[in-house]
Amino acid sequence: RAGHWKLHLSDQMPKALYNLTSDIGEQHNVLDEYSQVAAGLMQEVVAFEAELAANSRPAGWVDNPVPLR
C-alpha cells in the first residue's frame, strides 16, 4: 500500500489495484487502467524484499534448550 493505492499480489505478480480514495470497499480493480502505478508499486515490493533479504538473520538456535524458571 502506498498513499491511496493498494496493490494485491498473487505469486509475486500484480493481481489487483485499488484506489482507496474513491473505492474504500475495494470493489473496482483498476489494474488495467493504472498499470504504471502497479509497476511503480512492484518496484517498491522488489526493493523491500531485497532489503529484507540483505538485513535478515537466521533464527537463533540453542543445543539442549532449558526452559526459564
Burial zone of 16 (CB within 10 Å; 0-12 exposed, 13-18 middle, 19+ buried): middle
What is the pLDDT at residue 19?
Answer: 98
Percentage helix, strand, coil, to 5, in the chain? Answer: 30, 20, 50
Helices (H), 6-67: 35-55
What confidence tens digit (pLDDT) does each residue in 1-38 have? 999 999 999 999 999 999 999 999 999 999 999 999 99
pLDDT, tens only, 36-50? 999 999 999 999 999
Name the one residue in this structure whose C-alpha cell is 489487483: 16
Total-model pTM:
0.77
Give me the pLDDT at residue 21, please.
Answer: 97
What is the separation, in whole angstroms, between the first and last Cα of the chain? 43
